[in-house]
Amino acid sequence: MAVANGNRIPSRIPNKGPMGEFIGPFDVSSKLTDEAYHVRFSHLWNGIATRHSDTIDSKFFVDGQAVLVGLAHTGLRSLESRMGRGVSDREASFIAAEYLRERLEQADERRQFDVTSEDVVRLAEKLGLS
């Protein structure tokens, strides 16, 4: 069993409950500035339709400001092949949250991130999902 955002997670995370509650609020401290960020997950959707990008987009609020984390669809497909099953929306939201945590730890305060295919797979491995 892996740990994400301080929570223990099983190797398969089913979509259970309202999407906005897939991930509880969490705090991240920058390793560079010691600034503390308060993060709240909102929802995810298919970025192909809205941004014309080949991503699954996750929306978070960081200190009340909207932040978008786009997971490369090719990374999710690669992950599905490795796992032998589809990636649940909740699992995708955990991957996006972990990426956002890493960026905030580096005081990267952009409002939009596009996560590469390689990073999607790396983060899934880090979380024990693959």
pLDDT at 22 (0 to 100): 75
Measured between alpha carbons, how far is 57 from 15 in angstroms, rounded to an integer? Answer: 16
Q: Per-residue pLDDT for the chain (130 aa), expressed as one digit of tens each?
A: 344 445 444 455 666 666 667 788 999 999 999 899 999 999 998 767 666 678 999 999 999 999 999 999 999 999 989 888 888 888 999 999 999 999 999 999 999 999 999 999 999 999 988 7
Phi, psi at 15, each rounded to 5°: -75, 105
Measured between alpha carbons, how far is 31 from 56 in angstroms, rounded to an integer? Answer: 28
Question: Which pair of tokens denotes residue 114?
Answer: 């596009």
44 forms beta bridges with 58
The pTM of the full predicted model, rounded to 2 decimals, is 0.83
How is the chain split into domains, by residue range? Answer: 42-130
